Amino acid sequence: MKKMGKVARLASLLVLTLLFGLFPIGSGNNLNKVQAVTPLNNPRTVADSSMNAKQKVTWDCVWFGAYPQSEVTSGDIYNKLKNATGWDENNDIVIDGNKYRRLKGEDATYYNTKRVLNYYDWIEDYSTYHYFKYEAIKWRVLNVSNGGALLLADQALDSQRYNQNSEDITWEKSSIRSWLNAQDTINNQEGINYRKGNFLNEAFFLSEQAVILPRNIANKNNATYNTSGGNNTLDKIFLLAETQICGLDAKKYGFIMDHSIDDEARQSKCAEYAFAMGCYKFVETKYAENVNWWLRSPGGSSKAALKIDYDGRSRTGGSSIDSIEAIRPALYLKISSSNLYSYAGTVCSDGTINETPAPARVYQDNTSSGNTGNNSSSNNTTGNNNSNNTNNNKNNTTANTKPSNKTTASKKPTKRALLPVEKMTGSLKSVKSPAKSTLAITWKKLRKVTGYQVQFCAKSNFKKGTIERKFKQKVTKTKVRPLKSKKKYYVRMRPYTKSGSKTYYGKWSKVKSVKIK
């Protein structure tokens, strides 16, 4: 009987060994089960007199989606990117399973012509591409309830205007809402089509988009000025509101309610791509690397929106909606879909980071669309997905492919047809100085354009110290002050059209100059 017992135990051990060999814990298909045992918690707040906010907050974080973030400046991959062909219409490409974006100053939301630390340095060359790698997005968990988690991007991911032009606007009809949610022309007051060139489709596969919960977004009036917040909206991606960041709901998310205090929990850094897109970065020691970031709530007027400043305060009047600020998207994630996100560790408002590495996110090399989520079977994140889904886009983007001997290989690529705006030339009507320290500019109104780009500079070559402004199509004049008296300024302008995330420009007008009174 003892011998039979030993045999039975040995047989049982053999079966268990085989089972563990066939189904290893933590392998690709089981990784989501391992991750699921790490519950997501609400923010933890403790009193701390050394902090400006008098409290220290720790948030759980998750990896979910991907977006251009760090810059590629050297190595073999940099040379591959410089020589690569097959970039798609969003200026994205996949090489060796990784996705990249190229960006030049002319295509950024804003580029500064002065070489200062506060702005990204284009080295006075705005037509040469710089390269950025798509990397996993880290999100802070602000609240967990009813099977969903409210997430806020850990750092700013992009830089955009709240609205393309300065006019009366609410969140509902703003261009930033349409850009975040891939909306059509009818959804924003400017009539811009964001079906291509948007945040939602560029950051998430379709399978990931399916677990972002649409939410009824309350758009309340400004708490100080009572400026209308407009209608409520149904959104997948949104910006936080005044009440969430410094109002009644702020405390449960880890923020203090007083908008006038330098709250470390509200301060934000930005990705290098966001910096290149045009946001202003502070360099003071205390607030080094911090940026301003948009909220969705209205400011002191319907032409202003609230933002969080570099120091963690929120000025109640806000900023003009055509200002350029950093973007920290927010969303509600269905937390039962744990195969589509992974635990990222914790971050604390005192700067402490305990990070769990992001899983590999592999893209198929044959991709011709910046929206890798356009295919229904597009999620191929190694170790973080039960399916074997891959991208089905067909354009080969491998950088170092040897040219074929076939005749078709020597054919030149078909040139893109010029848009109407690219055939137009700007026309300045007058450049005057009607009063002390004042510059007055008037230009010709053009049809079928989004607006006008106006530049003025103390140098005729516009290479250093150039100041730029953009105006909507109906505007044909502007005044600038104060400028330095007795100084000569040169002015030029050109029309532009916005299509998705891309801007197309016409030709510069003839340069006019005037000496300031």
Which of these, 227, 56, 333, lies nearest to 242 by C-alpha position? Answer: 227
Residue type at 311 in one-letter notation: D
Looking up tokens 């570099």 gives 310
> At CB < 8 A and 24+ separation, what contacts does 289-293 make?
291/156, 291/325, 291/326, 292/319, 292/325, 292/326, 293/156, 293/268, 293/325, 293/326, 293/327, 293/328
Residues 6 or more apart in contact with residue 188 via CB below 8 angstroms: 163, 173, 174, 175, 177, 178, 194
DSSP letters along 90-131, please?
Answer: TSEEEETTEEEEEE-GGGSS---SS--TTS---TT-SSS-EE
pLDDT of amino acid 117 = 85
CB contact at 8 A, 113 and 466: yes
Whether the Cβ atoms of residue 327 and residue 292 lie closer than 8 Å to each other: no
Q: List the chain pLDDT tens, one digit each, 517 residues.
A: 444 444 445 444 444 444 333 333 333 333 333 344 479 999 999 999 999 999 999 999 999 999 999 999 999 999 999 999 999 999 999 999 999 999 999 999 999 888 788 999 998 899 999 999 999 999 999 999 999 999 999 999 999 999 999 999 999 999 999 999 999 999 999 999 999 899 999 999 999 999 999 999 999 999 999 999 999 999 999 999 999 999 889 999 999 999 999 999 999 999 999 999 999 999 877 898 999 999 999 999 999 999 999 999 999 999 999 999 999 999 999 999 889 999 999 999 999 999 999 999 989 874 433 333 333 333 344 333 333 333 333 333 333 333 333 333 444 445 667 888 888 999 999 999 999 888 999 999 998 888 899 998 888 888 777 888 888 888 899 888 778 888 899 999 999 988 766 788 999 999 999 999 9
Cα 62 from chain centre: 18
CA separation for the pair 20, 16 (Å, rounded): 6
- Per-residue model confidence (pLDDT) at position 3: 44
C-alpha triplet 453, 454, 460: angle, nearest 5°: 130
Please tell me what DSSP assigns to residue 281. B
The neighbouring-strand residues paired with 66 are: 136
- Short-list 355, 353, 161, 136, CA closest to 239: 161
Determine the straight-line distance between the first and last CA of the chain, rounded to whole angstroms.
112
Tokens of 214: 């649409």
Q: Which residues pair with 432 in a beta bridge?
A: 440
Residue-level pLDDT at 500:
66
Beta bridge partners of 250: none
- CATH class in words for 420-515: mainly beta
Domain positions in the chain are 45-355, 420-515
Strand pairing class (304-308; 319-320): antiparallel
Token pair listed for 102: 């190229």
> Which of left, alpha, beta for 38 (phi over 0: left; psi -120 to 50: alpha)?
beta
Cα separation of 386 and 32, whole Å?
Answer: 8
Q: Say if CB 222 and CB 298 are below 8 A apart.
A: yes
Question: Rounded distance, CA 490 to CA 461, Å?
Answer: 9
* Measured distance CA(199)–CA(181) in Å, rounded: 7
Contact assessment for residue 292 and residue 244, using Cβ atoms and an 8 Å cutoff: no
- What is the distance between the alpha carbons of residues 371 and 79, in angstroms, rounded to a whole number? 24
Q: Which amino acid is at 272?
A: E
Q: Please name which of 222, 370, 357, 349 lies closest in space to residue 290, comparing C-alpha atoms.
A: 349
Cis peptide before 329 (omega within 30 of 0): no
The CA-based diameter of the chain, rounded to the nearest angstrom, is 112
Sequence-ordered alpha helix ranges (H) in 139-260: 175-181, 199-203, 206-209, 242-246, 250-253
The closest alpha carbon to 456, from 465, 444, 443, belongs to 465
What are phi and psi for residue 222, nearest 5 degrees? Answer: -60, 130
